[in-house]
Structure 1
Amino acid sequence: MHVEAQAIKASQRKRSTLSNLWKYRALYFISLPGLIYFAIFKYVPLAGNVIAFQNYNIFRGVFKSPWVGWDHFKRMFDYADFHQILANTLLINLYDLLFGFTAPIVLALLLNEVRRTAFKRVIQTTIFMPHFLSWVIISGIFIGILSPSTGIINQVLAWIGMEPIYFMAKEQFTRSIIVVSGIWRDSGWGIIVYLAALAAINPNLYEAAEIDGANRWHQTIYITFPAILPTVTVLFLLNIGNFLDFGFERVYVFLNPLNNQTGQIFDTYIYEAGLRRGQFSYTTAVGLFKSVSGLALLVITNWLSKRATGNSLY
C-alpha cells in the first residue's frame, strides 16, 4: 500500500509539473532565447576546463593531448609571483567592495533627499553618463588628469609649492586609481537600482514617522535603509560571486612596467601567460582556481546572509 501511495503521489506531481509548463508556456517560450544563450556560451565552454589537466596541444586537440593531472596547479602555487598576484587581486577587490559597492548606496540615499525633481534628474544623469564610456577612454581621462606635466592635480600641487607626483609610476597609487576610476564610471548604474528600490517604499511610513517626531536621519536609519536591505543583500552577493573576477580591461589599461608589481591581477596574468605566451593549459588551471574560489565565497556568504538576514540568492 505504501509503494502504491508513493507511485500515486509521483504521478500527481508529474501531472502538476506538466500542467504548470503548459499553463505558463508563453513565459517559458520568452525565456527560451536566454536559456539557449547561456547553454551555448556559458555551459558548453565549461567542458574546455579539462585542458587544465592536460598538456594541451592545439594540433592534437583535447582528445589526444597528454594528461598531466594536477601538475599545472602545482606549478601555479610554486610560481614566485603567485602570492603577489593573489594579494593584488584580493586587495583591489576588497577596496572596490568597501568603497565601490557602498558609493551608489550613499549617493542614492542623498539623491532621495533632494526635493527638486529637475535638479535631481540633472545630477543623476551627470553621474550616470560615464557608464557609457569604455575603459580605454576612462584610462585616458585619468592619465591626463594625473599627468605630472599637464594634469590638473599636479598643477594645483605646483600652485601651492609642492613637487609634481608621477601617479602612474608610483606603486602605492595603482590600486587607488583603479578603484576610484571604477567608482566614477559605474556608480550611476548602481544608483538606478537603488532609486528603484527607494521608489517602492510606502510614503505612509514616512508620514507616520514624522508624526512620531522622527527627523530625516531617523527615517533613513529605521525606514529607508531596512526597506532597501534585500536589494543591497542580493547585489552584495552578486559582487561576492565576482570577487576574484575583477575584469581584465579595467586593470590592464592602467598597467605599465613601473606599477605592474601592485597592479597585476589574475585576469591580466592569464592574458599575459595564456594569450601572449601560449600557455593554454596552465592559464586554464589559474582560471579554474579563480572560478572555484569565487563559487566557494558565494556559497559561504549566501549561507551566512540567509542565517543572518533571511535574504539570499537561493
Structure 2
Amino acid sequence: MHGFGCGHFYDNGIWLSHTGSLHYHHAGCGHYYYDGLWNNTSCYHIHGPGCGHHYYDGRWNDFAHTHIHSDHCGHLYDGTQWLIVSSDDHIHGANCGHYRFSGRWHAYPREYYTMGRANSLFFFVDLGDYRNRNLPDWAYEEYLADYATADIFRSTTPLAKAYAAFAKSRYYDSLVQFRLASQIEPDNGLIYLARAQAQIAVKDYRAAFEDLKKGMTLLPEWADVRINLSEIYSDTIDLDTHISQLEAWVERYPRDYKAHFVLGYFYYFHQEYDAAKNELQYALSWNDQLEPALNLIDHILSFEAEQEVLTMEQDLPPSNEVEITTE
C-alpha cells in the first residue's frame, strides 16, 4: 500500500519509483522507455522464476523480503533508497560508475551532497533546477544564491553540520546545529523550516509548530514550492516512524491543535491534500488567525478548484458547432 515510507514518491497524482521531479529520465538512467512511458522493467520482461525479481505478498519486488542491504550486497544506495544496479553480478569498486563515501556506494559524486550550489534547495537532496521547484526568483536570490559551496559532510558551518547530522539520523545533534545556524541567520526562513523537521524527529511538536510558523511567515512562498518531504530523509524507515508517532500523538491528544497543524503540514508536503485540509481546518477551529494554516488551505482550495475545472472540461460533450472557413 502506498503511503509514508513505502519507498515511492507521489508526483502529479501518481506514485513513482523514483524521486519525482528530481529524477531526469535518460538513456542509462536505469529505467526503460516504452509506449510513451518510462518503466522499471523492459517491455519484453516477463516475471517468473529466475527473472531477477521476487514474488512476495501478491506482487513482484526488486528485492527479496528477506534481503538485508549492506555495502557489499550488490545494490546501490543513492542517498535515499537502495536501487538495482546494471546487473546482479555488479561489484562495486574503482571505476564501477558509483561513488563511495560515508561508508556507502552512491549514485552521485560527493560534490552533489553540498549546499549553496545553483541548484540546491533544502537539506541536501535536490539534484534538479531550482526553477522546477517553483521557488520564486527573489527567494532563491535572498536565501540561496549567496552561499559558498560546502560539502555538508566536511564543512564546519553550523547549517551544513545540521544537514549532515540529519542525513545520518542524528536528530538531536542536528537540532543543536540548526539553533546555531538560526542565530547566524535569524531571518532565513528555510532554517526554521528545516529545524522543524528535526523537532518532529524528536517528537517536540510544539517547538516544530513554532518553527514552521516562523519559517512560513518569513517565506510565505514556501507553500508554492514543489517538494515532497520524503526527499529529505536518507532513511525512509525514519520517515515512516516520525509520521506514525505524530499521528499517534494527535490521536492521543486531540485538543493539541498545534500538533494537528504540524501533521497537516506534513500531509500537505506529501501531496495528501484531503488529509492535510482536515488537519489544518481543525487547527483553524482553535486559532482562526493562524496565517500559515490559512496560506496552506488557500493553496489546497485553489488546487481543488483547478482539478474541478479540468474534470468539467473532460466531461463536456464534443462541440456541435460547424467550423466556418473562408474557402
Which TM class, normalised by the smaller chain length?
A: under 0.3
Query: Which protein has the bigger helix share?
Result: 1
The one of the two structures with greater contact order (alpha-carbon pairs below 8 A, sep at least 6) is: 1
TM-score w.r.t. the length of structure 2 is 0.25
- Bigger radius of gyration among the two: 1
Query: Which protein has the bigger strand share?
Result: 2
TM-score w.r.t. the length of structure 1 is 0.25
